[in-house]
Amino acid sequence: MPDSIPPFAPLPTGRFLLRPLRAEDAAELHRLVNDWEVAKTLARVPFPYPRDLADEWIGSTAERLAEGEAYHLAIARSEEEGGALLGCVGLTLDRAARSAELGYWVGRRHWGQGIAPEAAGRLARWALANLAIDRLTASALTDNARSAAVLRRIGFRPVGEGERDFLSRGGAMPVLLFEAGRGDIAPSATAAAPAPAEPPVEGGKPILLVAAVGLIDPDNRVLLARRPEGKPLAGLWEFPGGKVRPGETPERALIRELKEELGIDVTEACLAPFAFASHGYESFHLLMPLFLCRRWQGAVTALEGQALAWVRPQRLADYAMPPADVPLVALLRDFL
């Protein structure tokens, strides 16, 4: 299922670690958040912050994490550096809207180290690549320029103003509203475009040739691969394949890509041309022939960290896919 709950493993950010909160974090969490300069910026945090509330909240984060409802995590130093708690970052999912709300805070003693953008940016990229969402939302008090700057820095766009109830302030306060999608947070899809060998015709765009394949198993299921974090359009599902190199045929490109990405051996005789997609992106035009394949050697294995799913033809439309792949879904479903 495209909306299944992925297993969660701690996320390194470069300098820090985003991990589930632990019972032993409660005392330090209380010390850091029971600070007016921190609490006044957080909608769901009362002030003063009771000590026993830290224990209760940490317990609730474990339950919601296990259910895939929310990902409230500690921002901590690495275990080698002592694992000290620095703050928290979290996501609350709205499955019906295919979105998640991002929030974060850092203890005042740790301000000025770039912790918030590093942690929030890492979780945002992970979420768009691994959860069944298409966008992220966030808000910041209109007088909290520091938080608004963090959101803009990691790719969020301001989309208006509103009000939120703040427990610490005893009522509604004005906030700036922000949103971000894959094109804002993840690397731009245009990064996949190679430099053209010759200048395109006037007003035209370079052509990117990508070969894709519908692998079909004995149960008539089709293989989809999810683009991993760090790639353009991360989190979307697609037919396996990749760019055709200069001087390479689409068939040879697929044979190479399937070996590199999935560990299987395919011959040209087993690749049957089926359809093609032609789609214009902002700075290049994608041309993608789609082949079908029912025979290969070896076990399909995710060699590049991508999630894989064998999907019944009638369920293909349930998986969010790049714009170029979408028109091919109906053709393949009707054919199979």
Write out pLDDT tens, residues 29-51: 999 999 999 999 999 999 999 99
- Predicted local distance difference test score (pLDDT) of residue 81: 87
**Do 11-185 and 189-335 agree at the fold level?**
no
> Residue 253's Cα: distance from chain center in Å?
27
Q: What is the domain partition of the chain in residue ranges?
A: 11-185, 189-335
C-alpha distances out from residue 103 to 1, 69, 171, Å:
27, 14, 19
Residue 173 scores a pLDDT above 50 = yes
- Phi and psi, residue 308, nearest 5°: -125, 150
Tell me which amino acid residue 285 is: H
Q: Per-residue pLDDT for 225 more than 60?
A: yes
Q: Which residues contact 121 (CB under 8 A, 6 or more apart)?
A: 153, 154, 155, 185
Residue 179 to residue 117: CA distance in whole angstroms: 15
Structural class in CATH, domain 11-185 = alpha beta
The pLDDT confidence band at residue 305, using thresholds 50, 70 and 90, is: confident
Q: Which residues of 43-67 are buried (b: 16+ CB within 10 A; e: fewer)?
A: bebbbebeeebbbebbeebeeebee
pLDDT value for 197: 44
Pairing of strands 99-106, 237-238: unpaired
Which CATH superfamily, name and number, covers 189-335? Nucleoside Triphosphate Pyrophosphohydrolase (3.90.79.10)
Span 73-78, mean pLDDT?
Answer: 95
What pLDDT, on the 0 to 100 scale, is given for residue 27?
A: 97
Q: Mean pLDDT score of the chain, rounded to an integer?
A: 91
Residue 160 CA, chain-centre distance (Å), reads: 24
Q: Where are the alpha helices (DSSP H) in the chain?
A: 26-33, 36-39, 51-67, 115-130, 145-153, 182-185, 250-262, 326-335
Instruction: Identify the band that residue 194 occupies on the pLDDT scale cut at 50, 70 and 90.
Output: very low
